[in-house]
Amino acid sequence: MKIKEQAIKTTEYSEEQAVEIARSRAMKILTERMKETQKITDSRVDILSSPSDPILRVKVGAETIENIAVAQPIQTGRNGN
């Protein structure tokens, strides 16, 4: 029988560092899920956890621009008016 020990590594960051790490990870996930035609124009970070929480939770919101226009031919004549 083998017994394995798991070592838990904990790293402490300042609040500013933690917010930046969380923001960059969330933005990376968001950009991976976006379509290639979408472009981020603005983003915001909301801190969800309280200062006493040992883990920082953030919500990242982003505004995007996407061309949703669909080209269609213009019909002229009897039914095209």
Tell me 36's DSSP state. Answer: T
Domain boundaries, the chain: 36-66
pLDDT per residue over 66-80, tens digit each?
888 888 888 777 765
Distance CA 73, CA 55 (A): 55
pTM above 0.85, yes or no: no
Instruction: Identify the pLDDT of residue 79.
Output: 64
Instruction: Identify the pLDDT of residue 33.
Output: 87
Q: How confident is the model at residue 36 (pLDDT cuts 50, 70, 90)?
A: confident
Residue 27's nearest CA partner among 11, 45, 15, 12 is 45
